[in-house]
Amino acid sequence: MYPGESITFTCTVDMYSGWEYEWYHNGVEQQSSSSKTIAVGPVTLDGSGRYQCLAKRGQLRTDYSDPVSLDVSDPPKPILKLLSPWSDVYENEVLKFSCEVSSSEWTVTWHRDQNLIANENGLELNIAAAKVSDRGEYSCKAHQKHRGVSSASSNTSTVSVYDKLPTPTLSRDLSFSPMYIGETVKLKCTVSVSSGWSYHWYKDGNNLNKSGKELSINLTLSDRGKYSCKAKRGEKTSTGPSNELQLDVRDKLPTPALSRDPIFTPMFTGETVKLKCTVNVSSGWSYHWYKDGNNLSSFGEELDISLTLSDNGGYSCEARRGEKTSTGRSKETQLDVRDGKPNVTLLQNPSDKLMHTGDRISFTCHVNVSSGWKYVWYKDSNPLKSSENFHQIASAKTSDSGSYKCRVERQTPTTFSSESGDVELKIDERPKANIVLLTSWSEVFSTDSLKLQCDVMGSSDSWNYTWYKEGINVSQSPSSKYKVTPNNDPEQSSYTCEGIRNERPLFSVRSDSYRTKNLLLKRRILLSISGCLFFGIIAVFIGCVTLRICRKPVAADDKQEETNLFLTMAQLKDRNDAPCPLVEYITDADVNPPAKEGEENGTSCSEETPLPITSPDEQAATTNGKETTENGGGMVSFLQ
């Protein structure tokens, strides 16, 4: 029985009457009744089991009746099958289902998305031309109308209906381009939606009369062209053409190019070199390496070598693709590997170990072999900023003294380096020239020219001298003296000098400027004043003599005590206020220039400043002058 149905049981006793009946289900009393029948329903799955009864009257009870078994189960579930070959269909294709039931007593109803499909009750569902509205989830149910029983829904089948046909996708297993004679390429045509497709192949728009999802081609030159495919299903469904693939087939294989990094030659043990094999045409190559013609059993586009002496030799490579395609070997590249390190030499220009301030000095770092070096410079083990193969000192200073060296290094990619020996450099201060005035004050009355002398301070070496007037070269001579006259210096200019020679130091520091204008002016004023004083003294002397001769004698009583017009030497020594007309004139404010002009000459000149002495006569004159000064600076009396 099926759940929902009803059943009636009858309990019969052959003898007598007036019985009451007890009913049992699986040994459990269900009820007691005077009726010999009992209706059970609607039954459920729990109603399955054994049913029994007994009769009783007063104290009399019969035995249990024979059990009657009742089997309650669900109606059999129908099985839905998709009879069409594809669950994904396109408009106008056929869609067909079947619903299988346990016996012919059952009738069937069809459902799409759990909604009843009207007028369809056969064991098969046929849709001759599918539409987009026919997509969904299909199921069926079985029914026995005379018993009022319906089964559960069958299994479901989901169907997709597309209004637009798909486009096939054409691919190839080898994407290399170009390809070469003898290689094999496999083309594959794919429709990602649904199934059941058959495939047809085309080259340059012409049917190749070949079918199958894949097309394998052993290439020849005639296989060049554009390939495409189409997919078909049934009699009505056919896709459009796929994308096109171009096959470029060539008969001549390329030659690989072998390069190296770095390209230095020679190289040294411990450095690393990278060889690279390249085929610029097509792709998908595998590479094989050879040394001196022997296979190295190394693969890959690059070959890294940490160099030892055994790595000397000629290297080449070969590119292969597949089992049949080989390019042949590249040209050889030679590796020259040497032991040790290169010699590094540090050269100084000029090579003198003793240089002077202001000198221009350059160092050059020289490596005897190979190239690609980076240069690192050191002074007293401290790094310098220079990075070229030379280091320059434009104008040397004493602080540039020290020990210099250079180091060469290069990345290969490990750092490889070598150092030079030390070069000692000493920088001394350059001696300075100085201008000295040779003209003495005693020569004031005899000349109006000046003699200048250029001395290199602190040096006893022989020099040649160069004189400059207002910065312009006016004389080059081995003599250290130079004469300035009003004729060659009417403007009374500023002079400098420097010493030059053929040994180091080659030249001195130029002297401070020396201006002649103020000194000549002083000397001319001194000459004029001295003349005036000389003629004034002569005039006074003549007047005194004339007065003495022409004056009338006086009586002894009237004779006054004679007064000495001139002081004796003894008197002069006892007096501190004896006048000196010459000094008075010379120290006059109009004669003495301001201190600024003295600073221009770099020389301070006053009454007490002695001029440089260059001859015995000048020395004698200077001595006489000192005695006069010691006597008080006055005129010495002619009276003794």
Most confidently modeled range among 219-228, 455-464, 552-561: 219-228
Domains 7-70 and 344-428 share a fold: yes
Indicate whether 628 pLDDT > 70. Answer: no
Which long-range contacts does 601-609 make (Cβ < 8 Å, 24+ apart)?
Answer: 601/514, 601/515, 601/516, 601/518, 601/519, 602/435, 602/512, 602/513, 602/514, 603/437, 603/514, 603/519, 605/519, 605/522, 607/583
Residue 97: its pLDDT value, please? 94
pLDDT bracket for residue 623 (50, 70, 90): very low
Average pLDDT over residues 60-83: 90
Instruction: Look at domain 79-162 and name its CATH class.
Output: mainly beta
CATH topology of domain 257-338: Immunoglobulin-like (2.60.40)
**Alpha helices of 510-614 — where are they, by DSSP H?**
517-550, 569-574, 581-586, 595-601
Element (H, E) at 124: strand 124-127
CB of 468 closer than 8 Å to CB of 474: yes
The answer as to CATH 2.60.40.10 being correct for domain 7-70 is yes
If we measure between CA atoms, which residue out of 465, 480, 637, 485 comes closest to residue 564?
Answer: 637
Task: For residue range 325-377, list pLDDT tens digits in order.
Answer: 899 999 999 999 999 888 999 999 999 989 999 999 999 999 988 888 899 99
- Of 122 and 600, the structure prediction assigns the larger pLDDT to 122
Rounded to an integer, what distance in angstroms lies between the CA atom of residue 502 and that of residue 461? 11
- Of 598 and 15, the structure prediction assigns the larger pLDDT to 15
Cα R_g (the chain), whole angstroms: 68
Provide CB contacts within 8 A for 351, sequence distance 6+.
Answer: none
Q: Output helix, strand, coil percentages for the chain, rounded to the nearest 5.
A: 15, 40, 45
If we measure between CA atoms, which residue out of 349, 284, 3, 347 comes closest to residue 147?
Answer: 3
- For 597, the 3-state DSSP assignment is helix
Domain boundaries, the chain: 7-70, 79-162, 169-250, 257-338, 344-428, 434-521
**Architecture category of domain 344-428 in CATH:** Sandwich (2.60)
If we measure between CA atoms, which residue out of 331, 180, 174, 177 comes closest to residue 256?
Answer: 331
Q: CA torsion sign, 26 to 29 to 34 to 35?
A: negative
Task: For residue range 172-215, list pLDDT tens digits in order.
Answer: 998 888 999 999 999 999 998 888 899 999 999 999 999 999 99
pLDDT bracket for residue 229 (50, 70, 90): very high
Question: How close are the terminal C-alpha atoms of the chain, in Å?
Answer: 187
Provide CB contacts within 8 A for 621, sequence distance 6+.
Answer: 440, 442
Task: For residue range 305-332, list pLDDT tens digits in order.
Answer: 999 999 999 999 999 998 888 999 999 9
CB of 230 closer than 8 Å to CB of 258: no
Task: For residue range 183-195, list pLDDT tens digits in order.
Answer: 999 999 999 888 8
Residue 420: its pLDDT value, please? 92
- For 187, the 3-state DSSP assignment is strand
Average pLDDT over residues 122-150: 90
Average pLDDT over residues 152-162: 92
Identify any residues that bridge with 278 across adjacent strands, giving them in sequence order: 257
Residue 235 identity: E
Q: Mean pLDDT over all residues of the chain?
A: 82
Q: Cβ atoms within 10 A of the Cβ of 145, count?
A: 10
If we measure between CA atoms, which residue out of 617, 629, 531, 536 comes closest to residue 576?
Answer: 629
Backbone angles phi, psi at 159, to 5 degrees: -120, 135
Rounded to an integer, what distance in angstroms lies between the CA atom of residue 55 and that of residue 34? 9
Task: For residue range 418-457, list pLDDT tens digits in order.
Answer: 899 999 999 999 999 999 988 776 564 556 678 889 999 8
Indicate whether 595 pLDDT > 60. Answer: no
If we measure between CA atoms, which residue out of 348, 342, 400 comes closest to residue 372?
Answer: 342
Residue 554: its pLDDT value, please? 53
CB of 453 closer than 8 Å to CB of 481: yes
- Of 399 and 1, the structure prediction assigns the larger pLDDT to 399
Task: For residue range 494-538, list pLDDT tens digits in order.
Answer: 899 999 998 888 999 999 998 876 555 556 666 677 778 888 889
If we measure between CA atoms, which residue out of 178, 202, 193 comes closest to residue 284?
Answer: 178
Question: The CATH number of 434-521 is which of 2.60.40.10, 2.40.160.40, 2.102.10.10, 3.90.79.10?
Answer: 2.60.40.10
Identify any residues that bridge with 80 across adjacent strands, giving them in sequence order: 99
pTM of the model: 0.49
Indicate whether 144 pLDDT > 50. Answer: yes
Strands 95-100 and 79-82: antiparallel
CB of 285 closer than 8 Å to CB of 180: no
Residue 67: its pLDDT value, please? 92
CB of 569 closer than 8 Å to CB of 489: no
Tokens in use for 409?
């290094």
Question: The CATH number of 169-250 is which of 3.40.50.2000, 3.40.50.1220, 3.40.50.300, 2.60.40.10?
Answer: 2.60.40.10
Rounded to an integer, what distance in angstroms lies between the CA atom of residue 521 and that of residue 591? 8
Question: Half-sphere exposure (CA, 13 Å, Cβ side) for 181?
Answer: 7
Distances (CA, A) of 616 to 479, 523, 605, 620: 22, 21, 22, 6
CB of 119 closer than 8 Å to CB of 109: no
Task: For residue range 15-65, list pLDDT tens digits in order.
Answer: 778 888 989 999 888 888 888 888 888 888 888 899 999 998 888 888 899
pLDDT bracket for residue 631 (50, 70, 90): very low
- For 407, the 3-state DSSP assignment is strand
Rounded to an integer, what distance in angstroms lies between the CA atom of residue 192 and that of residue 167? 9
Provide CB contacts within 8 A for 284, sequence distance 6+.
Answer: 174, 175, 176, 321
Q: Cβ atoms within 10 A of the Cβ of 17, count?
A: 6
CB of 141 closer than 8 Å to CB of 150: yes
Residue 600: its pLDDT value, please? 39
Backbone angles phi, psi at 634, to 5 degrees: -95, 175
pLDDT bracket for residue 116 (50, 70, 90): very high
Strands 267-268 and 294-299: unpaired
Residue 400 DSSP label: G
Rounded to an integer, what distance in angstroms lies between the CA atom of residue 349 and that of residue 362? 5
Indicate whether 482 pLDDT > 60. Answer: yes
Residue 608: its pLDDT value, please? 38
Identify any residues that bridge with 176 across adjacent strands, giving them in sequence order: none
Indicate whether 560 pLDDT > 60. Answer: no
